[in-house]
Chain A
């Protein structure tokens, strides 16, 4: 079982729709959860981070965490073509190493 699992996609959504990206993790001791956006050929850019169960909103982005289900998700509202990228889910236990998933490729269709 992979430590962090994501559907590789591509996930295609029309412009203006809500994109829902999902991630599961295997380490129940994970305490910090991150979403990074990565454009092709570029480095990861931090989008959201969440530490507690529930929802955290920042502009068009909402991160959702359910530790009991070992599940974290990212919602992107009013998706724009510029949101087309690969979204990496990452988890960390305490101050240990950050473990990344393989990423989900999102395509926003104009």
Chain B
């Protein structure tokens, strides 16, 4: 039973570029949440997708956008990258409406030069 998988593992970009991160949820999960974790901080909620729609959003600018596909996988897109976007990006999946805990993928380490 595959857990949450994220790709790529590491990514290096320069300021102003755009990036797309990918996530496949755990089997049986239908909801995907994205988090940004800066060094020494806790994960910060970016947004959540369910039924291919953004359901909730944290305090992030609209440079951060996402998508969910019919197979429940998801993408996080970040435009006009800033140095401050350097972080570990985490995807977590869950089953909507159950209240059960989220399961995290291994994350994508994004470095902006």
Binding site for B on A (CB under 8 A): 4, 31-32, 34, 36, 42-46, 49, 51, 88, 90, 94-103
Measured in the bound complex, the distance between the Cα atoms of B92 and A44 in whole Å is 10
Contacts of B97 in A (CB 8 A): 95
Contacts of A102 in B (CB 8 A): 40-42
How many Å from the CB of B45 to the closest CB on chain A?
Answer: 4
Closest partner residue, chain A, to B106 (CB atom): A43
Contact flags (1/0) for B86-113 with A, using CB distance below 8 Å? Answer: 0010101000110101111111000000
Measured in the bound complex, the distance between the Cα atoms of B107 and A43 in whole Å is 6
22 contacting pairs across A/B (C-beta < 8 A) = A32-B99, A42-B106, A43-B104, A43-B105, A44-B43, A44-B104, A46-B102, A46-B104, A88-B42, A88-B43, A90-B42, A95-B97, A97-B33, A97-B45, A97-B56, A98-B45, A100-B35, A100-B42, A100-B43, A100-B44, A102-B40, A103-B42
Task: Count CB-based A-B contacts (< 8 Å).
Answer: 51
- Taking A46-B104, A95-B97 as given, write out 15 further A-B residue pairs in contact, using a Cβ cutoff of 8 Å, ordered by the A residue number: A31-B99, A32-B101, A34-B101, A36-B104, A43-B90, A43-B105, A45-B104, A49-B101, A94-B99, A97-B45, A98-B33, A98-B45, A101-B42, A102-B40, A102-B42
Measured in the bound complex, the distance between the Cα atoms of B33 and A99 in whole Å is 12
Contacts of A100 in B (CB 8 A): 35, 42-44
CB of B48 closer than 8 Å to a CB of A: yes
Contacts of B41 in A (CB 8 A): 102
How many Å from the CB of A105 to the closest CB on chain B?
Answer: 9
Pairs of residues from A and B, 7 with the lowest C-beta to C-beta distance, nearest first:
A100-B42, A97-B45, A43-B104, A43-B107, A102-B42, A100-B43, A49-B101
Contact flags (1/0) for B32-53 with A, using CB distance below 8 Å? Answer: 0101000011111100100000
How many Å from the CB of B56 to the closest CB on chain A?
Answer: 5
